[in-house]
Amino acid sequence: MPSYAVIGASRGIGLEFASRSETVIFAVVRNPEGSTHLRDVAASFTNVHVISGDVVDYSSLECATKQVSQVTGGKLDYLIHNAANLDVNTVFKGFDDYANMEELDSAFISAYKINSLGPIHAVTAFLPLLRASNTKKIVDIGSGAEDSKSTRALRLSKTVAYAMIKAAALLAATKFAVKLQDEGFVVVTLSPGMVDCSATAGADSKALADSLKEFSSSVKKNTGLEVTPQTPEESVAAQLKVIDGLEPSHNGLFLQHTGGEYRPRS
């Protein structure tokens, strides 16, 4: 069975990636005890290993790789970097929604550590195991928010920290793609589309569902476009088809869950 490490697998899209019986899954989470949805999954699937790791703490990821290595004999086929900070209370903020510049700076720096340095930490930590496999696939879960054409097409002036920092992560993935190309790696960024993850958002569930509705109506009002969120199941099923079909020609691309290179709605 192929092996996948899913970084940030406690809930939402990552949880769905981890909920599979036909592969060996290493579900890396920063709080294994508190990841109740994932613990339920691991109780049903013996192939799902819950492993501790926080993407802002590089040494915790190095420890995670040791645990993976013990199960796989030193290899890993696929790395799916999904972890990100999408705190519903802050993620939709625009430049004017911070109390002052100090608050804005602090929010950006804290998000940068998770959403941009996080994937660099995860790829670097798992690289020795990925190099030992013949598969050599790295998928960073991206977002349409990080695309400048989408920003214009959907008139998205808000979600500033999230969008700018995910854009930095997109470039980081491209840098890894170029760096690792001659070793036979395929490194891509993959957009999941808009996904309603409120069902596993715990106390933020209602606020997240309301924010997604508000976001969809504001896009509709500004552009006339209908944006309907998918379920995590729908999005991940589509993403897995893209991941299963990855080829060397995809290396370095920003792909969309429906296949092909990411392109904004119009």
Ligand X SMILES: NC(=O)c1ccc[n+]([C@@H]2O[C@H](COP(=O)([O-])OP(=O)(O)OC[C@H]3O[C@@H](n4cnc5c(N)ncnc54)[C@H](OP(=O)(O)O)[C@@H]3O)[C@@H](O)[C@H]2O)c1
156 is a contact residue toward ligand X (CB under 6 A): no
Q: Is 133 a catalytic residue?
A: no
Does the protein bind ligand X through residue 119 (CB under 6 A)?
no
Residue 147 binds to ligand X (criterion: CB under 6 A) = no
What is the rounded distance in angstroms from the CA atom of residue 112 to the CA atom of residue 108?
6
Structure token pair of residue 125: 């930590």
Q: How far is CA 57 from the centre of its chain?
A: 17
Q: Quick check: 85 binds ligand X (CB under 6 A)?
A: yes
Pick 55 or 184: Cβ nearer ligand X: 55
Residue 166 appears among annotated catalytic residues: yes
**From candidates 55, 130, 170, 243, binder to ligand X by CB under 6 A:** 55
Q: Is 14 in the site for ligand X (CB under 6 A)?
A: yes
Asked if 143 touches ligand X (CB under 6 A), the answer is yes
Q: What whole-number distance in Å separates Cα of residue 69 and Cα of residue 75?
A: 6
Catalytic residue among 35, 166, 235, 262: 166
Single out the segment in contact with ligand X by CB under 6 A; choices: 5-13, 101-109, 218-226, 238-246: 5-13
**Among positions 3, 65, 82, 174, the unique one binding ligand X when judged by CB under 6 A:** 82
Helices 160-180 and 118-131 pack at an angle, to 10 degrees, of 20
Give all strands (DSSP E) within 145-213, no chain letters: 186-191
Q: How far apart are CA 80 and CA 119, in angstroms?
A: 10
5, 6, 13, 139: residue in contact with ligand X (rule CB under 6 A): 13
Q: What residues are paired with 24 via a beta bridge? A: 3
Task: For residues 162 and 153, give the distance between their C-alpha atoms in angstroms, rounded to a whole number.
Answer: 18
Which of the residues 3, 19, 116, 143 is marked catalytic? 143
Q: What's the rounded Cα separation, in Å, for the pair 120 and 117?
A: 5
Q: Which C-beta is closer to ligand X: that of 116 or that of 248?
A: 116
* Max CA separation in the chain (angstroms): 54
Q: Which is nearer to ligand X, 127 or 163 (CB)?
A: 163
- Alpha carbons 256 and 54: distance in angstroms, whole number: 26
Nearest distance, CB of residue 182 and ligand X, angstroms: 28
Q: Would you mind telling me the total number of residues written for the chain in this entry? A: 266
Active site residue 162: yes
For ligand X, the binding residues (CB under 6 A) are: 8-14, 29-31, 54-56, 82-86, 114, 141, 143, 166, 192, 194-195, 197
Active site residues: 143, 162, 166
